[in-house]
Amino acid sequence: MKQINIYTDGACSGNQNDNNIGGWGCILEYAGHEKELWGGEINTTNNRMELMALIKALSALKEKNLSIRIFSDSSYLVNCFKEQWYVKWQMNGWKTSGKAPVENKELWMELIELMKDQEVKFYLVKGHVNLEGSEAKLKAAYMKFIDHNGMFSLEEFRTIVQKNNRADELANVYINEKRL
């Protein structure tokens, strides 16, 4: 089974305002090859951009039955799949436990469809980890990462952080273009 790594991030400048700019970025990695994608929307939310990053990454895949590791700093995205919130939402007619409609329902539905013929694992990465900073802080972030995600080497963690930081840069490309 082919192993694909996907690194995603979403951003929204002015997230709490009616007028804002959102961006998403992702990196697909397979057998030493990488593909970077980015885009965005006007008047959106950070959560919507986090979901769009993964939708665009999964939509770029040409094959089914892949082993996919998804690295994201979005608790909203990662926890939904790790804790299977979506299963409860579906059983409740797309309502939350508080009986409110699930936000971004159409995006969650699209993600579920895109993942149905894939073997997918999610990993939560702390956003904006400074690889050039204190070695002690880096090792603390690493320990927290493996506590949440299982065993990865420190070198693997450095690569994951570097790719997630790059996905963050990509998420800001659209935002910066629209500001001009």
The CA distance from 39 to 64, in Å, is 24
DSSP summary character for residue 95: B
Per cent of the chain over pLDDT 90 is 84
What's this model's pTM, rounded to 2 decimal places?
0.94
Residue with the bigger pLDDT between 126 and 169: it is 169
Q: What average pLDDT score do residues 87-105 get?
A: 94
Q: What average pLDDT score do residues 23-39 get?
A: 97
The CA distance from 99 to 103, in Å, is 12
The CA distance from 180 to 177, in Å, is 6
Supply the angle between the helices 154-179 and 135-149 in degrees, to the nearest 10: 100
Q: What average pLDDT score do residues 81-101 get?
A: 94
- What local confidence, expressed as pLDDT, does residue 101 receive? 96
The CA distance from 166 to 62, in Å, is 23
The CA distance from 24 to 108, in Å, is 16
For the cut 70, the answer to whether the pLDDT of residue 180 exceeds it is: no
Domains (range + CATH), the chain: 3-179 (3.30.420.10)
